[in-house]
Amino acid sequence: MTTNLFDNRKMDLDPALNDLYLNLRQAATNLPTTTNEELTFLNDLLQSKELNALVNIHNKILTAMDQKRYFPVPVLSQSMHVLGDVLHLLLQQQQSYRSRDSQELFQLLQRPHFQGLLCAHDAVAQKDYYPHLPEVSLFDPADENCDGDIDASEQTIKIVQLVKSNEPLGATIKTDEATGKIVIARVMHGGAADRSGLIHVGDEVVEVNGINVEGKEPNDVLSILQNSEGTITFKLIPAESKMNVRESKVRVRAHFDYDSTTDPYIPCKEAGLDFRKRDVLHIVCQDDQYWWQARKEGDRNMRAGLIPSRALQEKRILHERDSLVQQQLQQQQENDLEDADADTDDFDRDSIATYEEVAKLYPRPGLHRPIVLIGPPGVGRNELKRRLIDTDPHKFKTPTPYTSRAMKPGEVDGKEYYFVSRTQMEMDIEKGKFIEYGEYKGNLYGTSSDSVKSIVNAGYVCILSPHYQALKMLRTPQLKPYIIYISPPSLDALKQSRTAHHARSTFDVNNSRGFTEEEFEDMIRHSQRIEFLYEHFFDEIIVNDDLSRAFTKFLQAVNRVETEPLWVPASWVQ
Ligand SMILES: Nc1ncnc2c1ncn2[C@@H]1O[C@H](COP(=O)(O)OP(=O)(O)OP(=O)(O)O)[C@@H](O)[C@H]1O
């Protein structure tokens, strides 16, 4: 069954890769079927265009070097420093004398591509690109132990050489509790040790640079490493069972800030990866119960860092949460916000927001995600919504609300409101057909989820500004809303901007006066509460200080949703 894996040769291989391919093919016949996955991986790798192209380039460079036509020796390895010095000189010179040449040079040196080139040059010159692999094969085909019938009792030793550079080795060690030996505790994905492909979790460290480490502490080994220059040679006894070293593809959005430098529990501070709320992280390894390995999405650094696992973070949050909720409740009582929904709000925070698995959702022509504006009453959501609809009323639409009040003369059903009986509306509310509803002067008002769906299905961009409690009803895989939180600026800036703009209080039924001091303060308090309860639902935050600036940001966000692939909960794209 194993041999079938090699039946479909796809391309002409480079001779060296071809040899490997044939060896692998032969070896496959003797290996157990459980290794199929690895064999398929190796088979695909050896036949991949990329690897063949790379080997081809490598061979060409070697040939050129052999013929002494080209022998690349870096003149310096810190060209980025020189660049900084030159830019500094040019800047000084520009103030007094501006020759066209110096101006051109100044512009050239500032170009990101040019700086990227120098950066890559330095990495190569410092040999900061990959670990040096030993030239001798660790498994000699002539060796009896390599005929596929490996004797499990035979202790294999592997010798791994890594070139010490500016980059950390990307592995941690610990004393094995059971044996007292020093073992590899963690291998950071993408780090030098990982890229060597020869160091694995659980490998026992026997020697470092010829020094026997038996009976030594991890810190002793660390100082041997710190005092070594150039090539570091490890003598290792391979772990019995190799963990799956393939990278996971999981992406998560973080719902908390993480600063490894202030985390007293992280096993290795240097390996920590700091991030902010809403950052998207690529989780490359979840083998450890408490410490995951991750990279920031879009980060060009290939080396993964340690972050707290979901389980660990949930424990930490649970610990903090009770006291926070208590504080909020106390504040609520003190402020007497008269928020009828307050009791049920706390229920919403039941789910602990740590990481949310996300995937990219690509925009589909003609099918627009609803845009939802959340914020404290009076912050300016309707103003932004009105302005957006004014830019193109044929594109942006907001759902017509339902009401149980009687139609007034001149009103048209379906224009300002859909008019329905109170009994009908109560039944529909009961059935969960409304994303939000409320009662005012004895009449019911509400927005139905069907009206949102029909706007979306008709090809419009649906704009909503519901009460924040509607978020749970709205944030579904069917609607896929993009949620923008409109935040008030600081209290002073809020008062200043609203007064200068003659803003009308939305707490006054007739909008006939400005906001009072108390209403401004309520707005800030309310915003803190919404952030506490719902921040993990926000796709974006816009601070509504200067109105035209906030509107520009809002327009940009709407455009992004329409044109760019964006991260959404993974379940929405399955
Ligand atoms: N950045 C701003 N600067 C000055 N005035 C603003 C700003 N944003 C909104 N306003 C004004 O504040 C008032 C209230 O805004 P708006 O009606 O949009 O609030 P809202 O968030 O929809 O409130 P509610 O949810 O209570 O209806 C309006 O007069 C609006 O023009």
Question: Ligand 1 center to residue 492 CA distance, Å?
Answer: 16
Closest CA to 78 of 128, 111, 125, 115: 125
Beta strand pairing call for 418-419 and 402-403: parallel
- Please check whether residue 65 is in contact with residue 71, taking contact to mean a CB–CB distance below 8 angstroms: yes
pLDDT at res. 96? 58
What is the longest distance spanned by two Cα atoms in the chain?
Answer: 98
Query: DSSP label at 143?
Result: S
The four Cα atoms 297, 299, 303, 304 give a dihedral, to 10 degrees, of: -30
Report pLDDT digits (tens) over 545-556: 999 999 999 999
Question: Ligand 1 center to residue 332 CA distance, Å?
Answer: 24
Q: Residue range 521-526: average pLDDT?
A: 96
Q: Taking the CB of residue 235, how many other CB atoms lie within 10 A of it? A: 18
Report pLDDT digits (tens) over 166-203: 777 788 888 888 888 888 888 888 777 887 778 888 88
Which tokens hold the place of 175? 């004393």
- 540 bridge partner residues: 484
Report pLDDT digits (tens) over 194-238: 877 788 888 899 998 888 988 888 888 888 887 777 788 888 988
Written as one letter, the residue type at 217 is E
- Please check whether residue 186 is in contact with residue 292, taking contact to mean a CB–CB distance below 8 angstroms: no
The four Cα atoms 180, 186, 187, 191 give a dihedral, to 10 degrees, of: -120
pTM, rounded to two decimals: 0.64
Closest CA to 378 of 521, 537, 500, 549: 521
Give the nearest ligand 1 atom to 506 CA.
Answer: 26
- Reported as half-sphere exposure (CB side, CA atoms, 13 A), residue 461 has a value of 24
Write 415-421 long-range contacts (CB < 8 A, 24+): 417/445, 418/451
pLDDT at 391 over 70: yes
pLDDT at 516 over 70: yes
Which tokens hold the place of 570? 């993974």
Question: Ligand 1 center to residue 160 CA distance, Å?
Answer: 66
Per-residue burial over 384-394, b = 16 or more CB atoms within 10 Å of its CB, e = otherwise: bbebbbeeeee
- Please check whether residue 389 is in contact with residue 554, taking contact to mean a CB–CB distance below 8 angstroms: no
Decide: 542 in ligand 1 pocket, CB within 6 A: no
Question: Ligand 1 center to residue 415 CA distance, Å?
Answer: 23
Q: 419 by DSSP, 3-state: which?
A: strand
Alpha helices in 201-260 (DSSP H): 218-226
pLDDT at 144 over 60: no
User: From CA 440, how far away is CA 429, in angstroms rounded?
Assistant: 16
User: From CA 364, how far away is CA 88, in angstroms rounded?
Assistant: 48
Decide: 547 in ligand 1 pocket, CB within 6 A: yes
User: From CA 403, how far away is CA 392, in angstroms rounded?
Assistant: 27
Backbone angles phi, psi at 60, to 5 degrees: -65, -40
pLDDT at res. 245? 54
